Amino acid sequence: MSEQRTHLEPTARRTADEPLLSIDDLQVHFHTEEGTVEALDGVSLTIGRDEVLGVIGESGCGKSVTALSTMGLLQSPPAEIVGGSITYDGTELLDLSDEELNEIRGDDITMIYQDPMSSLNPVLTIGHQVKEPLLAHRDVTEEAAHERAVEMLEAVGLADAERLMTEYPDALSGGMRQRVVIAMALITEPKLLIADEPTTALDVTIQAQIMDLLTDLREEFEMSVLFISHDLAVISEIADRIGVMYAGNVVEQCDMRTLFESPLHPYTRKLAESIPSLEGETDRLPTIEGTVPELINPPSGCRFAGRCPQYIGDVCDTVEPELATPSSIDGDQRVACHLYDDERPDEPPWPVGAEGEATGDDDGARTGVDGS
């Protein structure tokens, strides 16, 4: 197989220390009959080379919109990217034409989705579909593509790969289909794989197998991964670092160990508490009362203010907190919360679950988090 790549050369060769992907202040709106939905409100994330970044958040928080923006797959209209930057390996993706983006998409950057059938065409054979990215992006013969497709099906743990090449997707189980989709996504040996809830539609046993497979393949292919999930336990199996999203914002970004040992944002703290412990018995896991705010005319301050157990007053309602590393924190942990503003007199971080200690002017109306 030829190693020749056809995608655009980056405008400047990056160094190993620079992120492979930088999403900076990304703002995405959806124009609907009801009004403008401010789906992403300045999302910033970075993914290093050979790094797995987990992105977690509730349904509708903007995880998938972030992924689709990166792939250039947002449907416009109704979607509109109104600001920000997505830089991949030195190339600004938002400046590329569809044709230029097509050279990267499906080759250097590939994606797997929650429902494997959304990636598979039911009227084309598995072989046809697994070979397709290679034939589209590389100068290879049909024979070489076939050979590589069989190798990839075997690499993702599918037995009798030659026979499978002639099957149609409806002959396969859900777990087998997702393995085929992973084979399709990796056949071009991408530098970045975006996995959007890749195990959510699968039963628990198959989910564990797919996570093991992705963990192995991530190392074998030395690729970076943007792994999206609503399940912190799943993300913790594979991610090196994590970005926590809430209502169109990234509210915290840190490494996985830090997330569990010293989360800063009140929302992240509740997420960390929601992981079941193997030690001791828990009748009921903590939940966060309330609902995510409407993103048509969203709150002008912190979007978590209406549910926050550590709400500290007007500043939360009126000033949007910026994602930044607090001066009191060593390392690159970043948080968007006024609890860590430098001018606050009392020193963060407070211990997990210590809602009352941090809310000097809290009237208690906002501390109703189940289990706290």
Judged by the rule CB under 6 A, the positions of this chain that interact with ligand SF4 are 265-266, 302, 304-305, 308, 310-312, 316, 321, 337-339
Structure letter (DSSP) for residue 285: -
Q: Which is nearer to ligand SF4, 74 or 295 (CB)?
A: 295
DSSP labels, 293-308: PPSBS--SS-TTGGG-
Q: What minimum distance in Å lies between the beta carbon of 290 and ligand SF4?
A: 12
What is the rounded distance in angstroms from the CA atom of residue 19 to the CA atom of residue 14? 8
Q: Which tokens is 230 given?
A: 């609503």
Quote the DSSP letter at residue 73. -
Smallest distance from ligand SF4 to CB 251, Å: 7
Our CB check for ligand SF4 shows the closer of 179 and 338 to be 338
Pairing of strands 21-32, 35-47: antiparallel
Closer Cβ to ligand SF4, 272 or 305, answer by number: 305
E strands, the chain, in order: 21-32, 35-47, 52-56, 79-88, 91-92, 109-112, 192-196, 224-229, 241-246, 249-255, 334-335
- Cβ 340 vs Cβ 326: under 8 Å: yes
Smallest gap from Cβ 299 to ligand SF4, in A, equals: 9
For ligand SF4, give the closer residue by CB, 113 or 304. Answer: 304
Q: Which CB sits closer to ligand SF4, 272 or 316?
A: 316
Strand partners, 253: 243, 334
Residue among 49 and 265 whose Cβ is closer to ligand SF4: 265
Q: How far is CA 121 from the centre of its chain?
A: 25
- State the nearest-atom distance from the C-beta of 308 to ligand SF4, in Å: 3
Query: Under a CB-based contact definition with an 8 Å cutoff, are residues 122 and 106 in contact?
Result: no
